[in-house]
Structure 1
Amino acid sequence: MEASEFGHLVHRWRDRLAPDDVGLTAGLRRRAPGLRREELAQLAGLSVDYIVRLERGRATRPSAQVVASLARALQLSGAERDALFISAGLLPPRDGMVSDFIPAGVQRLVSRLGDAAVGVFAADWSLLIWNPTWATLHGPPGRLPETERNLARAIFGDGAAHRSLRPSPPALTDDFERSIVADLKHARARYPSDRRLASLVRELRAVSADFARHWNDAAPAEHTSSRKTIKHPKVGAITLDCDVLSVPGADLRIVAYTAAADTTDENKLDLLRVTGAA
């Protein structure tokens, strides 16, 4: 397949998505149907110039990470995602590997839960998509390198993700840490051939004594609803309920932060959501 076919597919699937489908405000004076290039760039974490070059066939070798990001942003089905990979000259993701595929229904759910801060994670705790409230609460994930958009790296690593982590230290309880490591250990058993996951585990065992200790602990750990305090640079400390939800039929985790009604914390979360202060 030619590079121009890749651009044609991106353009065609961009045209069929309405701004409301991805949680954006349509605004006035839209001359074309679907998403604008700058909107797709924002959703996929790419530059507008790169989107233009891809669609016009001037960028001919997008990486697997770029194609996966576009597939998520365009809310493609599994078959459409595979077609996009093939049109880029890449093999589609194989079974038995950690999947970054997010069903369109989950993407719509995230875009429409604007009052909550919502992020969707893969089995290795890589952050795949997030809504605007999540970005204002935790800081825009798009500012981080893609490999650093990982909760385990944020907790146990020594890179950009760890430096940007906002929950206060008391929020990172031993039980919470154990549950994240237990998830990774179970994922390692399910996806023994996944290089990204193997590299993550190898790195964290080397740099974090706490991670290594939890990894060697055979005791299982389950996610439970919890309360976390986040030290935000604009509104100060904000305490929220944190719930982790599983997606039936997909190895994904939806993490949602919400505030109790009629509380100072709800007012702070509303202020962040309305002003977009990150």
Structure 2
Amino acid sequence: MANVTRSASIATTLRAAGCVFAEDEARLLIDAARHPDELRRMVDQRRHGLPLEHIVGWADFCGKRMTVSPGVFVPRRRTEFLVRQAAMIAQPGAVVVDLCCGSGAIGAALSDHLGSCELHAADIHPAAVQCARRNVEPRGGRVHQGDLYDALPLELRGRVDVLLANAPYVPTESIGMMPPEARLHEPKVALDGGADGLAVQRRVALGAARWLAPGGFLIVETSGQQALATAGILDEAGLSAQVVSDEGLDATAVVAAREPLRPGNRSSVSF
């Protein structure tokens, strides 16, 4: 009874602070706290807007607990769609690169699905690299620090079967309109996609063909509003692009193959 009362009290506090899933969050905080003082501190952090995942130290992603450290981009549920698209393409043993990896959850989840792969992840942000190592290295993968392709070992050139890129795609002027959890507690480098939100995607597209194996795929998360522009960027880079979406998750991705685009046929990628 005491636990039920405590959970209800915490849920009331969280709900007053604007937490939509207050009851669920209360249970997670109670489970994560090792002693009452820690629980009070965690509830206060959540009440003041710190992301729940940063407080408890993990996020539920593709059915697995992925480590998430403070100051690191929190993997979104919609990004599971990106993993599902990759899982339709990749074969066990594939060479997989998770670019702009953040926590490394995307690459780690695909590795779990495949059972075996050569997994690499890369990010420019030091905190993200440290966090990604906790998710990627136990799965036999490697994490590299640097700016996009500059981070990758040269021996990967022309060998990558699946290149995953959840690059930032929020227009700079729109960051101020994001929820406080994101704009105050996640690194700007993980959010800011430049004036139109597509600046980092352009850089990813320009370098992709040099790193992809023949017939390799680049899969990019984007927004519904930006999808056609993202596909156009990949087409211009010499890839064959197709927009795919999931209305239930409000998720959109562009899948692009390293093959010539057939004239008049944007959707030449097959699964």
- TM class by smaller structure: 0.3 to 0.5
- Which structure carries more strand by proportion? 2
TM-score by length of 2: 0.33
Structure with the larger RCO, 1 or 2 (CA within 8 Å, 6+ apart): 1
